Amino acid sequence: MADEKKSFVRISDVLVAYALFVMQNYLTDVWGLSLIHAALILNIWNGVYRILPLFFLYLVDKYLGYLNLLVFTSLAYAAGITMVAVSTPPLANASGTCKRYEPECVGRTQKGILIAGLALIAVGVAGNLVSLLPYLNLKKSSGQGVNIYQIIGLFGVVVVSIAGAIALPYIRPPTLKFGIPAICTVVGTFLFLTGFSKYTNDPPSHDSPLFNVFRVFVAASLKIFRSYPVSNKDYHGHVIGKTEFTTTRCLGGLHKAAIILPGEDPPTGKSWTLCTVEQVEEAKIAVRMVPMWMTFIVCGVVAAIGDTYFVEQASKLNRNIGRLKLPIQVLLLARRSTKDWLGGKVTKLLEEFRTDLAPSFGIAAGMLCSILCCISAALVERKRLNVMRSDGLLDQPDEQIKMSIYWLVFQFVLLGGLEAFLENSVSVYYRDQSPGSVANYLVNFIRGVTGLGYMCSALSVYVVGKISEKGGRKNWFQHTLNRSRLDRYYWVLAGLSLVNMVVFVFVASFYRYKKPEECGRRTPDAGGGYTDGYNEGDQNRS
């Protein structure tokens, strides 16, 4: 029954995702916020919940364990979506006289409750990203296989995904639109907690690989004026063929963190003055990946427009297919279906071509999708503006335009392709290129970098807007969608994405790759044997 209860939690997650997909429209239509202000709130929220997993991973390793974090963040998640539902004007109006879904009925009380609710949802989403799947994997590794409840739960998630995409959007009052997912989430969380005593607890390891990286830098800094030892045996934890230094041109200074000074006994616990060779190698891997990480920021900037400006465009287009009027959530379904389907294909393809460069090609393919997505979005937005002007709707932002919403499908599919290629290629990349102890941190670090891209989206809008209004010209970003020139902004992002892909290819071509099957680094000597990967002739490198 525990698995059935967890599946109910996942079902409620699907409904919340559909409800939050239209948050951009809610903020502009009900709150009366400008296009840019509403996008700023959502981009900050998207960025925060992608950055938080790094902090939560540290808490899991040092103090909580996966189950305790899952319980805490599930409660935060349920409280958050409940607060979002309560923040709607009919429920949170202090005077009780203004119950309309209009800007004049939204005061400080509603705004404060909604922002707090979104913050708690960010905590809940981040906690689930960190703890839910790893905890389920721990159960599988302990011998608890798939049972009939898991199959029923999976079937329920699929059914609710389809039913939610069709039914929930037709519920017009925001109180019910957010209230139904809130009720399901509270019920799902309650069911999950009722089975808490039957769940297998996982004690924390009280050790954090991320913390070890900081220790390496501190220890190396304290020994910066020390000379390199003559023998590799003077490095703490050095074992030929197992734990030894790899040749590097610019990070050799970190090797000093493992130098055993005369009269110094290697500590049995954690030390800020002495680290092992293995810990130094993990720190070097993390540092070498920094230039590649930075290229993912632009991917986050592109992904951000899919949750904000694309949704605003979709709400103003014709959703009819014959007599059937479909909701805009079908675009979210198209994006996620593409991501899930293509993601499996990408992983399978990378498994078949197990070369050191295969994941980099996958990442580059994702960046190509981001370029094509921006180009497609620019062309479609230009067409939308022409149709809007021909119908005389420039100053009627709430009127529907005689243009099908399904012109946007291609750009949503390309967004799904960007996420599929990027996330799955990065996962394979870190599985092959990094030690298992830090791989989980690195994958979540990439998610955090992408989240930083969401936040930088607001900065890019500000900078591009300021540049666009130079010379007395009109700013590309106005209060309403019809008055804005998002097509030009999309062209800027297309050019930025192209430059970003070129930078990534340059960085990836100079990256020192480790073969996927490598566990250690040994190099053949002239006699056919093996020597240390650390050359004593390189002692003075830094």
- In this prediction, residue 10 carries a pLDDT of 55
The reported pTM is: 0.78
Q: What is the pLDDT of residues 40-72, one digit of tens each?
A: 888 899 889 888 888 888 888 777 777 788 888
> Which CATH superfamily hosts domain 289-511?
MFS general substrate transporter like domains (1.20.1250.20)
Alpha carbons 542 and 539: distance in angstroms, whole number: 8
SS (H, E, C) 272-330: CCCCCHHHHHHHHHHHHCHHHHHCHHHHHHHHHHHHCHHHHHHHCEECEECCEECCCHH
Q: Which residues pair with 235 in a beta bridge?
A: 259
- Residue 248: predicted pLDDT: 64
Q: What is the pLDDT of residue 151?
A: 45
For the segment(s) 1-202, the CATH number from 3.20.20.70, 1.20.1250.20, 1.10.10.10, 3.20.20.140 is: 1.20.1250.20
Report the DSSP beta bridge partners of residue 317. Answer: 401
CA–CA separation, 268 and 265 (whole Å) = 9
Q: Are strands 522-524 and 320-321 parallel, antiparallel or unpaired?
A: unpaired
Q: 10-residue block means of pLDDT along the chain (542 residues)? A: 47 68 83 86 89 85 79 87 85 63 79 90 86 66 48 48 59 80 80 66 66 82 82 71 62 80 68 79 79 87 89 84 76 85 82 74 90 93 89 76 86 91 81 66 79 89 88 85 89 94 87 54 32 34 32
Contacts 24+ apart (CB under 8 A), 234-238: 234/259, 234/260, 235/259, 235/260, 235/277, 236/260, 236/266, 236/274, 236/275, 236/276, 236/277, 237/266, 237/276, 237/277, 237/278, 237/279, 238/277
Query: Which pLDDT score, from 0 to 100, does residue 267 have?
Result: 67
Give 464-531 as a DSSP string: HHHHHTGGGPPPS--SSTTTS-HHHHHHHHHHHHHHHHHHHHHHHHHS-PPPTT-SS-EEE-TTSSEE
Reading the block at residue 536, the tokens are 């004593």
User: Contact, 8 vs 157, CB < 8 A?
Assistant: no
3-state secondary structure of 452: helix
Short-list 420, 438, 414, CA closest to 362? 420
> Exposed e or buried b for every residue in 10-23, given b needs 16+ CB within 10 A?
bbbbbbbbbbbbbb
CB 127 within 8 A of CB 56: yes
Listed residue (41, 54, 40) closest to 446, CA to CA: 54
User: H or E stretch including 254?
Assistant: none
**∠ Cα 315 317 323 (to 5°):** 110
Domain with CATH 1.20.1250.20 in the chain: 1-202, 289-511
